[in-house]
Amino acid sequence: MGEELRQSPGYRERRFTAQDGLNLYYRDYGDPLSARRPVLCLGGLARNSKDFHGFANRLCQKRRVVCPDYRGRGRSDYDPDWRNYRPEVYANDLFHLLAAANLHEVIICGVSMGGLLAMGLCVLVPSHVAAIILDDVGPEIDDAGIERIRAYVGRDHPQPDWPAAIAEVKRLFPNLAPTDEAGWRRFAEATFHEGEDGRLHVDWDISLAKALTHDRHDLWTYYQALGRRPVLAFRGALSDVLSAETFARMAEVKPDLVSVTVPGVGHAPLLEHPQVEQAINDFLAHIDGQA
């Protein structure tokens, strides 16, 4: 079962044990007894629960929101064997999280790799997934995006202070497009943590890059497993991960897909973007009305 660490402003900090004994962390926002379906937030490859703090604070007034750190990210243990940084292990970790956090019929908000894991959970535990929000990810991933991600994930980017860290994330993610400088600061704080040497280091295990491959799996089968579940999908118009062609085919395969292209933004549109925020509000209101 999950272990509660302490109450932090706006959320509870909890831990649980994975199948191989690794100690994993998650943030738990809102009322666990809320009658509305909870939201499970799954981040991108090298991201962590801090990315979802603003989003979770908006939603937790009405529903529970759970935001895990995958193994090797944030406050979760790093895996001593980099070969375990693969989707099937993450999915197993999430299966244990669902049990530890007593989560049933969740709405999954999956950013980038988190969206692929959401589709995988539809196969692994279909009764637990009520609806999905996909942020700039689909059944086909462009090679250009994989190579760009591999290049920055595979090394540390130590910075002397927060202004330098902000400049670095602007360099690494020029098409991210936060709404203001405060948004860049929040993104930098979710990307770096202070090390024992007093410098700022990336908040993930750089060994993640070793596990990235170009293996081609039939992810369309997983996408089709979404069935008739409500799905909202975003694509950044400048994305190098999700092509316009793949995005169009997703709508053809699933005619009830609610698809939104966010102009002037790359991979992946931030959840605080006004167009994204409004679409999610409308989507959740529709789901709540069906419950």
Q: Convert the pLDDT of each residue in 167-222 to its tens digit.
A: 999 999 988 888 789 999 999 999 999 999 999 999 999 999 998 875 667 899 99
| Mean pLDDT confidence for 26-30 | 97
Pairing outcome for strands 23-29 and 39-42: unpaired
Please report which confidence band the pLDDT of residue 145 belongs to, taking 50, 70 and 90 as the band edges: confident
Q: Which residues is 106 bridged to in the sheet?
A: 129
Residue 2, pLDDT score:
55
Q: Share the mean pLDDT of the chain.
A: 93
Lowest mean pLDDT among 83-97, 107-121, 165-179: 165-179
Domain extents in the chain: 3-142+217-290
Residue whose tokens read 């988190």: 114
pTM: 0.94
What distance in Å separates the CA atoms of residue 110 and residue 136, rounded to the nearest whole number?
9
Residue 216, pLDDT score:
62
Residue 222, pLDDT score:
94
- For the chain, percent of residues with pLDDT exceeding 70: 96
Residue 4, pLDDT score:
55
pLDDT at 53 exceeding the cut of 70 = yes
pLDDT tens digit string along 213-271?
756 678 999 999 999 999 999 999 999 999 999 999 999 999 999 999 999 999 999 99
Residue 1, pLDDT score:
47
What distance in Å separates the CA atoms of residue 37 and residue 30, rounded to the nearest whole number?
12
Residue 8, pLDDT score:
62
| Mean pLDDT confidence for 89-115 | 96
Spell 18-37 as b/e; 16+ CB within 10 A means b: beeebebbbbbbbeeeeebb
pLDDT at 21 exceeding the cut of 90 = yes
272 and 117 in contact (C-beta within 8 Å)? Answer: no
What distance in Å separates the CA atoms of residue 112 and residue 231, rounded to the nearest whole number?
15
- The amino acid at residue 160 is P
Please report which confidence band the pLDDT of residue 130 belongs to, taking 50, 70 and 90 as the band edges: very high
Residue 147, pLDDT score:
87
Q: What do you get for the CA distance between the two ends of the chain, in Å? A: 28
CATH 3.40.50.1820 applies to domain 3-142+217-290: yes
pLDDT at 10 exceeding the cut of 90 = no
What distance in Å separates the CA atoms of residue 116 and residue 84, rounded to the nearest whole number?
17
What distance in Å separates the CA atoms of residue 261 and residue 266, rounded to the nearest whole number?
10
Q: Of 154 and 217, which is predicted with more confidence?
A: 154
What distance in Å separates the CA atoms of residue 39 and residue 133, rounded to the nearest whole number?
10
